[in-house]
Structures are given as C-alpha cells and as structure tokens.
Structure 1
C-alpha cells in the first residue's frame, strides 16, 4: 500500500467513533482467523498514532514484517469498510435495499425463485419509500430475468406492468439527470463568481437555463423529480438574486420532504440542505419570525424518529448552526452579542470545523465572521478574518467575496486610521477588481472616496464627503445589478454612522427594529 493509501487508511481509522471501533474489534474476533490478530494489532497501533508513521509501527510490533505490511493494510482497510457497512446496515436505506437484491440474486441462482421474488418485493418497497429510482430499475431487471429464464413467462398484465414501470422510471431518471446536471453547472459558476454581476451574465445564465430545461408539467412529475426540480429552482433564483422566487421554491422543497416522513428519514442530508436554502431566503428577505421557526427545525433534527446522525451529517449540522446563528445576529444588528455568544464561546470549535470543511464553506465563514466583528466595531479582528479570504491560495473561487473582502478591509483600515496602508491597498485593490472584471460603480465610488483621503480633510469636509458618497450610492439600491453590492456589506448604514457620529451597530439595530416590527 503506497504512502497515499496509508494516509487513506489512517484517515478512515481516525474517522471511526468509539462504537464503530468497538464493533470492528468484535467483527474481526468473530471471524476467528489467525491472520486477523495481526490486523487488530495494526489497527490498534495506527489508532494510537497522532500522525501516520510506518517506521514507528514496525518498531513497536516486530511481529509485523515489512514485506507483509502492504497486504495487511489493504486487508485492514477492506475489513473496516465491511464492519462499518454491517454496523450501520439498519440505518442505511440504500444498503438494506442492496442487501435484499443480493439475497434475491443468491436465491435465484439456487432456483428458489419464489423466495427470491419475496426478497425483491421487500427491496422494491424499501426503494419506493427511499425514492431510489436506480435500485428500482435494477430490481425490475431481475424481475425480467425471472420471466425470461423460467417457463412461466407471466401473464400479459404482469408483462405490461413491468414494461410500463421500466418506461416510467427511465423517464424519471432522465428528468432527474437533466435537473441535477443543470444544478451542478449553475452551482459551479456561482462558486466561482458569486451572484451575477451584470446584464450580460444574467442573459447568458437565463438563456442557458431555459434552453437546457425541458418543457415541464409539474403536476405529472413524481415526488423525487419535484425534489430535484425545486433544488434546481432554488439555486437558479438565488444565483440571479430573485430571492422571492427562491424562497417559494425552498418552501415547496421543505414541505415536500415533510409530507413524506420515510423519504425524509432516508435522505436527511438533502432535507438539511433544503432547510438551509429556506433559511438563506428568509434571511435575505428579513422574514425574521419564519427564520427563527425554521432554525428551530434545524436544531431539532435529532428528534426525528429513526434518524442516524453520522459524521457527514454532524459536520453539515455544525456548519449550518454557526452560519445561521451569525445570520440571526445580522438580521437584528446585535453584532456585539454575536461576538460574545459565538466567537468568545466557540471560536476554537469553529476553527476546528473549518479545518474539515470545503474551501467554499471556509470562505463564507471568514467573510461572515469578519463582518460580525466589523459591525461590532472591532476593526482589527475584521481585518484579521478578511485576511483569510485575501490570502487564500486558490483565487478562482467566490471572486465576489474576494473583491468585497478587499473593499471592507480598506474601510476597516480607514476606521483604524491606517492612511499609509490605505494608499497601498487602494492600488492593489484596483488591480484585483480589474483582473476579476468586478469594478462597478459601487466599488469605483468607494475607492474614489478613499483615494482622496491623502489630502487629510478636516472633520467638516470629511462629513461632507460622507454625505456625497451616500448620495452617490443610494440610487444604486434600485439598480438591478449594482444593488448586489449591498448583499455583502451595508455601506449606507456605515456612512450614516459616520455622518451622524454614532456606531454602525446602533444604526443597523434601529433599521432592523423597524423592519422586523
């Protein structure tokens, strides 16, 4: 086993919880093979390491020969996967379906056709409940084999039903492939650039969407097809900043899952994604009461019957918990409270979480936390967290966040009276925005304002310039594409705080109170 594969084995062992490790040892001992004792020894040695070290393994266990180690590691990896599969069998719908299909295949090979068909009926019932069309198609293929390979070719009605079901499922899978392919294509573009920036991008995305998606009679779609369709709509509408439409699609998606408890239980991660989409829409539209209610659903996932919280779900839940706790403080303007309850109490846990998240999610955390600190008037911390975005090695991701991170960092340096730093950063920010083709009126006005600070205006002149900048920016709130800038940073409230000589937090809290009343 190569070094890369050794690291894979190490990561797999470290991902196991205590119950899984205990079960694995029982699983291996139950097989009772002499070779398995060496495998258990290897498991314990790797489990005790904080970093994988093959030389140390061999020193600690002379009975493990270097010539054997590669095969032992490969065997251990396979056995761990087998034990995990067995341990979680009752909690994983797809695995249960696959097991019944395998049983049916074995029984058919023994010519025990009726017993095999009984297993297929169980498998089909589970597949329908879990919405697994691919496995339903596999079940039908086996049913066809029985009709072909036995003298009993079935009644005409049986044959017609199998043909009808095959055509129906094939059409559903085809629709789902179209919806999901379009969704990941749009998500890939969103992950790179963020929200659409201009008319040209909007028309390009709109044209691609409407020419790719087939004519749809929604009432004729199955529940599974609707799930994929609503997911697609959510992503598309969010991308083009049509948040009301995205909100409606997210509502329908959540309601669809909640109307089918068995499907929800078997697809809990997809349900979590649906709740996340609804929370995002409610946040953007300031539907605070609804946001709180949906957030409560997110925090009550473990109360749903038969739900197993695996590691993947646990990480997703943590990500959503923290992101939407921050969003809730953004909605109320209680930035200082957010810092106190989230960052002062959970910064270590958030940093640990960020170590296992994808790069896109990490960028979002950096940005939201930086804005939380900015709103609380803690500008040094805001600069520090924005630095996580500005210094990211892969610059081909969320170009919008990278651009606005630089803008907000400049404003934070202004608050810190770092005039020399501003002078340098303005030039580099100009270059970056030009390179990313994101130098629009919003950015031009702000950079122009900051650039003129070198003449060191007195307080009266500075206030006049704040008013002038606010008057330049206000019309952009009604611009279809320029208004996107205010999704990233409430520049108007910051300017009003400078004009009125009050904290930006107080200004935003007053607006939030009016908006939420």
Structure 2
C-alpha cells in the first residue's frame, strides 16, 4: 500500500487539484514579497516530488536547513488560507464563520447596524442547518453589540436574544452530552472490544442509561436526535444487540430523508448512518432490505446537488464498494464479474491518504474473502498478504486473526502449504497476545492444528469433531461477527462431504 509518507505539508500539496494549485500561485503572487517567492519555490519543488525528500529541497538552496521547518509551516498556512478563499471549498460552516468574522470587523469599526444585519442573516442560516454552537456564538456577539448600541426596541430585542440564547444552551447541552456518550462508547469498542457475555452487556446498558436520565427526548431537534440515535447504535453494536442496532441505524438514516436539506449540510453523517445500517443488514443477510436501502442511497449520490470534496468522495467510495462486496457475501452466488475489484483498487490508490489503514484492511479482507468464495485461492492469498505485511499485533487484533485463518484456508485449498506449520505457530503466538480472545478463536486454531500432518482419514475425523464442537458456538449471538465473511463451519462441513 503506497502512500505519500508522513510529511503533512507534502500530503496537503499532493491532495490539491490543478485549479487549487493555480489559485494558490495567484494568491501568493498578489502578496508580492521575498518570503512568498520562497513559498513558490518550495511549493514547486515539493509538487514535483513523488516522495518527500528533504535533501532535494536543500540541494536546490531554496532555504537553509535551519529555516526549512519555519518556511514549511508558513507555506502550510498560506495553502490553507488560499483554500479558504476558494468558493467551491466553502461549506456552510465556513460561510457562517466568515459572516461572523465580517460582523466582528464591522463592530470594531463602529458600524453596528451593518454588523447586526450580517449577524441576523448568519444566525438564521446556522439555525436552519442545525449549527447551534455557531448560532449561540453569533447571539453572544449580538448581545455585545446591542448592549452598546441603544435603540427603541432594545427591551423587546433583549428578551428575544435571551430566549434564543436559553433555548440554544439547552439544545447544545443535550447535543454535547449525547455526542460525549457516543464518543465514549465508540472508544469503549476500540479499547475493550465487544461484550462477550450477559454480564458485560448489562454493565454497559446500566452505564449508558445513567447518562440519559436528564435527557428529555421530546426536546430533541434534528442535531440532538442524530446524536441520540448514534449513541444508541454504538451501544447496540457494543452489546451485539443487532435488532435494536438496526432500529436506531434505520432511525438515523430516516432522519435525513425526513430532513433532506440536512443531507447537503451534513453529508458525512448521512453516509456514516448508511454505513452502519448496511453493516447490520449484512449480519442479518437481508438481501431485499439491503438492495432497497442501497437504491435509496444511490439515488441521493446520483444527484448533482450532492456535496463533493476529497473527504466526502473518499467516504462515498468506501461505502459504495463495501456495498458491492457485501451484496456478493449475502447472495453467495460467486458467479458474477470481478471487474469491480480492479475499480476498487484504482480507488484505493486515489484515496490512499484520505482513508485510514484500518479501512484499507477491511476492504482487503473482504476482497480476499470474495476471491476465496470464487475459488481463486492465489488471489485470496495475495490480498491476505497485503494485510499481514502492513499490520502488527497492536492493530485490530480480531481482523488480523481472521485474516490469518482465511489465509490458512486458502493455503489448504490451493496446496501451497509449505509454510503451513510456521503460519499456525505464528497464529498461536498472536493469540497469546490478544486482549479479547474467545473460545471460538481457540476452536478455529485447534482445527488447523489438527489438520496439520494428519492423514486423509484423520483429517475427516478432525473436521467432524470441529463441526460438532462449533455448531453450538455458532448459536451464540456474541460470536455472530466472527463468521461474517469466513464461515469456517460451513467450509468444514463441505470438506467432510
């Protein structure tokens, strides 16, 4: 998995489009001073690089080694300032913030009426798109100006601002509390993993419920409802209550369809809501519902009005190709075209610095599983290797374990088992370091250890014993995620036949 390295300035420059680069050059040329000439030289030098190399810059004598860090920092700020001026990059938050800045300038010049007029328009936009933190900030400046610019309507105006302020304080309190709760349970999943027993489940539910005691659901508007649904989705994922996870993920997505303008204002959360909805439908293997909700998503994405940016486009790419793969897993026909995998790889190359490593691994694992389903074992091994060579034991241990299990299955099927024994030992070593090891992990490993070196007759006995031991485990809902992409039990049954 190639990338542009870890230099933030270099990554930012490489992410720029041609028009953005041209705009930056025009922006710097307007400033016209010697320091900005160095900006352009450094910018051009880094733009021509395939990989960041500090020595190339120093050889061109653009600046000294001592001054390079400072010049890079200033160039970074200048690029951001240029992007901020680009109308196509101005989402609604930037537009509101810009109007707030303009009003502040007018206030400082003593032009109170003009400042208040701008603030009133900006506040209405902020309220319309549920940017209530910004709306409250605008009201605070309105109160400052009104307290210094006395008019005949000050009494009524004061009451209006106080009422708006109090209402927003309550709404922002709810949003903050719910967003904190959502983040806390998301972090819980990353650090401690999913609930593995009824005791874990009840402890999480109690902690969650305690945080909602002072939340009046009837008082929640769009933004607060969004956080409310998100928090419940995370809880349900943690306790592996997928029926309620479906309920709240569906409410999350439906909330956007009930307020379609919010899709334009908050496209990332619209995409994320769909992502969680599809994860649950994949667990349920609900192909009809999956296709229904995917059609609604694609209808929105096809609209010219759907927002675009590198961040949005990368998330959109992830979701659309995940859906293609997931539908294959649900239907399990494994007789279609695999051309979209090449399109997927091109997209991964394009968004390499916009997508985190974990999502790369998830997609590689899905592709490896897909190739295994198509009995293309060499291709499956190639994609498992992409994960294994880029991972370590500290990154998504469960994904790493199942990647190794899939690799063992592909090695077994392909006959390329010369490193089979070493691979099994490495997997056992991984298991010893796993923080969230379960019985199903041990059962999977025991299967492949039993198959190692066994005769054909003995292999059948090993497989039969595995099937008997594992069928009961597969009824445990806390293990449902472990069989999502690689159904080892079904594979073992087919080997017996």
- Answer whether TM exceeds 0.5 for this pair: yes
Distance 1:176 1:419, change over 3 A: same
Residue 19 of structure 1 corresponds to 19
Alignment partner of 1:404 is 2:402: yes
One of 350, 369, 372 as aligned partner of 1:371: 369
Greater CA deviation, 147-156 or 124-133? 147-156
Q: Is the 8 A contact 1:233 1:249 kept in 2?
A: yes
How far is 1:50 from its partner?
A: 2.4
* 3-state SS of paired residue (1:397): coil
Q: Deviations over 1:345-398 (max 9, x none)?
A: 543543554564213212312321221122222334333433444455542332
Aligned to 1:504: none
Structure 1 residues 325-344: aligned runs within 5 Å: 325-335=324-334, 337=336, 340-344=338-342
SS of aligned partner of 1:347: helix
Q: How far has the Cα of 1:139 moved from its partner?
A: 0.8
CA drift of 1:413 comes to 3.2
1:486 matched to 2:480: no
Measure, in 1, the Cα distance between the counterparts of 2:156 and 2:22: 51
- Once the two structures are TM-superposed, the CA of residue 312 in structure 1 deviates from its matched residue by 1.1
Q: Partner residue of 1:495?
A: 492
Gap runs ≥5 in structure 2: none
C-alpha distance after superposition, 1:83-106 (max 9, x if no partner): 110103674111111121122222
2:380, 2:410 within 8 Å by CA — same for their partners in 1?
A: yes
- How many angstroms apart in 2 are the aligned matches of 1:382 and 1:90? 40
Q: How many residues align?
A: 493
Structure 2 vs 1, CA of residues 455 and 270 (structure 1 numbering), >3 Å: closer, same or farther? closer
Cα 1:117–1:377 change in 2 (3 A) is same
Match of 1:474 among 446, 452, 471: 471
2:355 is paired with a residue of what secondary structure?
Answer: coil
Q: CA deviation at 1:158?
A: 2.9
SS of the aligned residue for 2:484 comes to helix
Structure-2-length-normalised TM-score: 0.88
**Residues 396 and 187 (structure 1 numbering): CA distance in 2 closer, same or farther, change over 3 Å?**
farther
| Residue of structure 1 in register with 2:76 after alignment | 77
CA-to-partner distance for each residue in 1:409-435, whole Å, 9 max, x for gaps? 333333345667444444443443343
Contact 1:441/1:482 (<8 A) preserved: no
Name the CA distance, whole Å, in 2 between partners of 1:299 and 1:140. 39
Describe how 1:312-391 pairs up with structure 2 within 5 A.
312-335=311-334, 337=336, 340-344=338-342, 346-350=344-348, 353-354=351-352, 356-391=354-389
In structure 1, list runs of 5 or more residues that go unmatched: 501-517
Give the aligned partner of residue 508 of structure 1: none
Moved more, 298-307 or 140-149: 298-307
Please report how far the alpha carbon of residue 474 of structure 1 lies from its aligned counterpart in structure 2 after TM superposition: 2.0
* 1:172-183 correspondence runs (5 A): 172-183=171-182
Distance 1:313 1:391, change over 3 A: same
Distance 1:173-1:153 versus aligned 2 partners, 3 A rule: farther
Find the residue that maps to 2:474 and give its secondary structure.
Answer: helix
Per the alignment, residue 48 of structure 1 pairs with 48
Alpha-carbon contact 1:403-1:438 (below 8 Å) kept: no
Q: CA deviation at 1:52?
A: 3.7
User: How big is each residue's C-alpha offset from its partner over 1:325-346, in whole Å with a ceiling of 9 and x where there is no partner?
Assistant: 11111111144536x2233554
TM-fit CA distance, 1:273: 1.0
Alignment equivalent of 2:456, drawn from 458, 475, 478: 458
The correspondence of residues 115-126 of structure 1 with structure 2, limited to 5 A, is 115-126=114-125
Shift of 1:311: 1.0
Q: Secondary structure at the match of 1:481?
A: helix
CA distance in 1, matches of 2:65, 2:405: 56
Question: What is the rounded CA distance, in whole Å, between the counterparts of 1:8 and 1:444 in structure 2?
Answer: 42
Per mean C-alpha deviation after superposition, the further-off stretch among 151-160 and 404-413 is: 151-160
What is the CA–CA distance in structure 1 between the aligned matches of 2:119 and 2:489, rounded to whole Å? Answer: 63
Query: What is the root-mean-square deviation of aligned Cα atoms in Å?
Result: 3.1
- What residue number does 2:434 align with? 436
What is the deviation of 1:223? 1.0
Conservation of the 8 A alpha-carbon contact between 1:282 and 1:290: yes
Q: How does 1:217-232 map to 2 (within 5 A)?
A: 217-232=216-231
CA shift, 1:250, in A, is: 1.5
Q: What whole-Å deviation, never above 9, does each CA across 1:215-243 have from its counterpart, x for those lacking one?
A: 43323211110011111112221222222
Does structure 2 retain, via aligned residues, the 8 Å contact 1:373–1:382? yes
Are residues 329 and 114 of structure 1, via their aligned partners in 2, closer, same or farther at CA, if it must alter by over 3 Å? same
Alpha carbons of 1:343 and 1:79: their partners in 2 closer, same or farther (altered >3 Å)?
same
Which of the pair is proportionally richer in helix? Answer: 1
Q: 1:466 to 1:57 in 2, by over 3 A?
A: closer
Q: CA distance change for structure 1 residues 453 and 30 in 2, over 3 Å: closer, same or farther?
A: closer
Offset of residue 265 of structure 1 = 0.9
Aligned CA distance change for structure 1 residues 256 and 187 (closer, same or farther; 3 Å): same
TM-score between both structures, scaled by the size of structure 1 = 0.84
Question: In structure 1, how many angstroms separate the alpha carbons of the residues matched to 2:436 and 2:58?
Answer: 56
Alignment match, 2:92 = 93
Counterpart CA distance in 2 for 1:240 and 1:234 is 10
**Distance (Å, rounded) in 2 between the aligned partners of 1:347 and 1:300:** 24
Maintained 8 Å contact 1:28/1:40: yes
